[in-house]
Structure 1
């Protein structure tokens, strides 16, 4: 079974998305490029869009695109407690008819609110995926601790494996893939290069081939999201190029 190919809207850049008229404006491009789905980003919503999420869901359906919903927040708060806005995020995902809800981990202290999480996930029937972000909480050790606890509790929570965020946390991505691959349910395909005292994401054609090696270490039948920059005068052509590339890797 071939992996579903998803285009993450921020790949076009926040300013470009705004200039085009919002995330709904890139749905025709993503469809015509041959992708299967779109990752909608909450941070790009304006008040009007947030107040009418079913309209965005309907637009995606008309363009035959599944929706993944990305929320720029963490599952656990700084004090280690479960994020009180989690129910709200699930409700938004439900309005979008999303196939998955993605968040970062946050400060997981080892205390897993198993019953609360199980009830919430069951009531919404939307898979929750936790991503390795660029913070200290996105490092390998906290991720290992969390997913081991999730596995022991038999909770249906998977991982979004961001291929390049390990650069920011200064860890070995291939080791992370070996340690966490069993939990991965969605891949953010991304490459990064050094930039000043940090890193910046780059298009795959501008990176070394190490991303190919890493991608082959991960499950080959799960969704792959394009999160690296999609830039140029012809957004359809560049999007189609990378959708085709990832479909055939």
Structure 2
């Protein structure tokens, strides 16, 4: 099973002025990871292209899969987000394996829009996933309905399960995982205590059980602020749970 790093682990460094590229370089030769996920909101617009190119080259050198977290909703009541087209082009250019959006709300799609979206998703090798949101759009009943809607429209969308987001809407991740397990293609791992993200093993999440139920091909990303001194230990805990 692949262990990945979402650059949310570097939130403190990014806020202090570091780039995602600079942060990811610190992983080289020090940590056993298979994938990295960069965050769209962490890029500066004027330097994003150059930084993404360098990150793509770094991933190729290190044999890491590259994922991209888009800080936008895929659907609104009017249809699908036009940024999907440009982001798929960006993903192709920079060898990004997967794009992650949040769902938004179920749209009313005209026949030609549904046909265009179906064609767009069916003719790309880029995986597009939707993630449960920590708001009313992401409660379990709503999200189950959204997943069923995607299936009914025959859209090739995956699902990124975030174990932490359920707590912000006063729901437990374990029953949500049981209900959505068959749709999961990416897993974002957090441990939570009193609606605060803590280091693995310090919270209330039964994350060992969740990881034990994942299919081996599903990547597991650490996605919470981690001090540099704690990163090795956090990765080791995930490796032990997956072994």
TM-score, normalising length from structure 1?
A: 0.86
Counterparts in 2 of 1:46 and 1:174: CA distance versus 1, 3 Å: same
Please state whether the residue corresponding to 2:201 is helix, strand or coil.
helix
1:171-191 Cα distance to aligned partner (Å, 9 max, x none): 232221111100000000012
Within a 5 Å distance, the mapping from 1:1-249 to structure 2 comes to 3-13=1-11, 15-19=12-16, 21-31=18-28, 32-52=30-50, 53-77=52-76, 79-109=77-107, 111=109, 114-194=114-194, 199-208=195-204, 210-231=206-227, 235=228, 237-249=229-241
* 8 Å contact kept, 1:76–1:107: yes
Q: Distance in 2 between matches of 1:114 and 1:90?
A: 17
Counterparts in 2 of 1:188 and 1:180: CA distance versus 1, 3 Å: same
Q: Distance in 2 between matches of 1:18 and 1:24?
A: 14
Please state whether the residue corresponding to 1:61 is helix, strand or coil.
helix
Q: Distance in 2 between matches of 1:105 and 1:120?
A: 17
Please state whether the residue corresponding to 2:68 is helix, strand or coil.
strand
Please state whether the residue corresponding to 1:124 is helix, strand or coil.
coil
Gaps of 5+ in 2: none
1:82-121 Cα distance to aligned partner (Å, 9 max, x none): 1122112222222331111101000114658542222112
How many residues are aligned here? 237
Please state whether the residue corresponding to 1:48 is helix, strand or coil.
coil
216-225 vs 82-91, which moves further: 216-225
TM-score, normalising length from structure 2?
A: 0.88
Q: Distance in 2 between matches of 1:108 and 1:152?
A: 12
Q: Distance in 1 between matches of 2:98 and 2:238?
A: 20
Q: Distance in 2 between matches of 1:193 and 1:138?
A: 20
Give RMSD over aligned pairs. Answer: 2.1
Q: Distance in 2 between matches of 1:201 and 1:239?
A: 15
Q: CA deviation at 1:123?
A: 3.6
Please state whether the residue corresponding to 2:147 is helix, strand or coil.
helix
Q: Distance in 1 between matches of 2:172 and 2:108?
A: 23
Q: Distance in 2 between matches of 1:152 and 1:108?
A: 12
